[in-house]
Amino acid sequence: MEQILIVDGYNIIGAWPELSKLKDTDLEGARDGLIHMLAEFQSFSGMKVYLVFDAYMVPGLGKKYVQNKLAVLYTKEKETADERIERLVTNLMGRRKEIFVATSDMIEQHVIFGKGALRMPAKELLVKIKQNRKEVRERIVPETTTKRNPFGGKLSDEMKAKLERWRRGE
């Protein structure tokens, strides 16, 4: 079953303490931080992630681009992120698809639940991202620290003895 995660960008930035603190001084930095975290999450979890940012007061047609293999969507003029997320859920809904929407907006959670998507509160998404990072570290660290000489484990005892004699000049 294909799993899809749609993230309400500014809602998540406001809900996560680290990004919320950053947005007060550097909104672009907070957006980039969220994009980076979600790109890592997507690559490890296997879920397709769509990140939606609200550009309600910004004139234009809206944009969609891919950064680090993550689909980043900006709403068009006079369109809210909630409207874009609802339309995205409707368009993506199908057989053998499980759609999650990450937002802490209770009204939006009820609307998307009515459309057949599953809700994921901001704090739950943060927990999942931290768990993924921990799993990645656990997979990487043991492999790099325990295997000092992987070639030596593949040699027969006879070959090891012969190489040792050559090393000593015998």
Task: Indicate the pLDDT class of residue 145, thresholds 50, 70 and 90.
Answer: low
Half-sphere exposure of 132 (CA within 13 A, CB side): 17
Beta strand 2-8 with 118-120: parallel, antiparallel or unpaired? unpaired
Higher pLDDT, 38 or 94: 38
pLDDT category, 138, cuts 50, 70, 90? confident
> What confidence score (pLDDT) does residue 64 get?
79
Q: How far separated are the first and last CA of the chain, in Å rounded?
A: 62
Which pLDDT belongs to residue 136? 84
Instruction: Please say if the pLDDT value at position 158 is more than 60.
Output: yes
Query: DSSP character for 60?
Result: S
Q: Confidence class of residue 169 from pLDDT cuts 50, 70 and 90?
A: confident
Q: 30 near 13, Cβ under 8 Å? A: yes
| 66, 72 Cβ separation under 8 angstroms | yes
How many percent of the chain have pLDDT more than 90? 46
Q: Alpha-carbon torsion 145, 150, 153, 158, what sign? A: negative
Higher pLDDT, 56 or 32: 32
Mean pLDDT of the chain: 86
- SS3 (DSSP) at 49: strand
User: Which tokens go with 76?
Assistant: 């068009």
